[in-house]
A and B are shown apart, each in its own frame.
Chain A
């Protein structure tokens, strides 16, 4: 199918996929593209983008679904050359409310009339804090395995932590929350306050970081399994749409 695309459409479509790669499932803290949630993305040569999203079950939580659709809309609409964006969530019990709300640029409260009392900023922040905890485990586990002590970890700054993709991911989630994220800031901070974690509080902090990561990873594992069952031709669709 990609052979029928003009160069302009192909370029815009690729740019839209890149933009979608920046959109995360806020609950799982992974890119919607990696999770297989993007069923299709196409931009015409005149800059009209259509994105189709799908989720592991018909009953996935509507608040998280709304955030993903809204974020996907914002990401694709911001691509230079895209003039009109449509994002459609397929096969979901609240597809109508969500798709209609996003198209109308309405907020969550307006989209779910009478069922919601607030927008979703607090929900998003709660899960960013979980992402910070899970990310802390990702960064610290290899250091502990290499023999680092609690005192050493408590004294470590982000900048002095060995460079890795996990470190940058942790830094970026902290920055999103408005927590200290510079090279001179401590590696271990309270995700609610940003205060440094002292050596005495560190064992429990790391325990909780690990538990959070286990919880998120197990959840993501179940989601991936359910999505694969729901859309058995997942992989081929993805690669075809991406033109890879």
Chain B
């Protein structure tokens, strides 16, 4: 919980990791990729305030104590949602697995929500593993990374029939929140790997599932916006938006927030700190303090109200994950996107 100027904010970090990218965990022969991956993450951290930058060694592998302190003691987070990223082709025990996350969640009851993942290239075995993970840890969400390498394959699409089988399974198992993270590769490589059209396709075919597009589809914020405005079950994951832009590029941050408010709306935007890329503290505090600039260039963007910030920082995610919010932290009348009309009729886009 974060309190500022008499307002109390229930904080859900919608995007947290407990990873191991230390050299001991690199797969022999794949070291360059394992190293390249964590160096890329580390470069993103540099876009946050200098006082929050970590040395590489700590960034590769951080302790449980440190994570608990950064998230809950200092970071104002009430509940964090683990989003696993396996990358077993590069990291021997995986980069950030359901098991590693769940071990922490079991140790600190009530602090974490354990999401799992799937990969349509895993076939029937993967479907079984998904069912097992859901049975064991009660997962209500999955994190999908479409750019994951597997043998010679450089990724997959949510449009594939194999992916549809997994989405059907999610529906059957009550896994209703599908977090999608796009990366730089896909099959085939000549297509734009960041294209969100496959999320659109899946969201239309599976209206009972929620699709949270992580990093608001960055670098395809525009395509994401046009899709999200037409699909009632598509949400904006704000991780990276806050972390990479609010401090480093405040004017761009304002514009991106303005666009998201216009096309997506405050009921469908979900905060995520993306720990350990960025610590939540400066993001939560900065976001609560943040206001849309008032100069002319921003005059056609809406201001963010305290209510909107409360929704984005925690209440929207709490609704998606059925997290009980203490009455004093909730809004008087909980709002939801269910009754909201698309801002622009689909036929006109």
Contact = CB atoms under 8 A, between A and B. Distances in A.
A229 B344 CA distance: 40
B44 to A, nearest CB: 7
A226 to B, nearest CB: 5
* Interface-central residue, A145, A222, A225, by most chain B CB under 10 Å: A222
A59 B190 contact: no
A211 B222 contact: yes
B159 interface: no
Interface size for chain B: under 10, 10 to 19, 20 to 34, or 35 or more residues? 35 or more
B190 A58 contact: no
Given A116-B188, A215-B220, A217-B255, A225 B47 contact: yes
Contacts of B184: 59-62
A229 B249 contact: no
A115 B187 contact: yes
B223 to A, nearest CB: 8
A123 B185 contact: no
Contact of A93 (B32, B245, B249, B256): B32
A115 B218 contact: no
B185 A225 contact: no
**Chain A at the B interface: SS class:** helix
Nearest to B254: A214
A117 B190 contact: yes
A200 to B, nearest CB: 10
A112 B193 CA distance: 15
Contacts of B44: 226
B259 A221 contact: no
B219 A215 contact: yes
B46 A222 contact: no
Contacts of A114: 152
A114 B189 CA distance: 9
B194 interface: yes
B191 interface: yes
A122 B188 CA distance: 13
Nearest to B37: A59
Given A115-B154, A117-B188, A229-B43, A222 B263 contact: no
Interface string B227-255: 00000000000000000110011001001
26 contacts: A59-B37, A59-B40, A61-B193, A62-B185, A93-B36, A108-B189, A112-B189, A115-B154, A115-B187, A117-B188, A208-B226, A211-B259, A214-B256, A215-B219, A215-B221, A215-B225, A218-B218, A218-B219, A218-B221, A219-B219, A219-B221, A221-B245, A222-B245, A222-B249, A226-B43, A230-B43
Given A112-B189, A219-B218, A226-B40, 9 more contacts: A27-B219, A56-B43, A57-B40, A109-B190, A211-B225, A215-B220, A219-B221, A222-B249, A225-B46
Interface of B: 32-33, 36-37, 39-40, 43-44, 46-47, 152, 154, 183-185, 187-194, 218-223, 225-226, 244-245, 248-249, 252, 255-256, 258-259, 262-263, 296, 344, 348-349
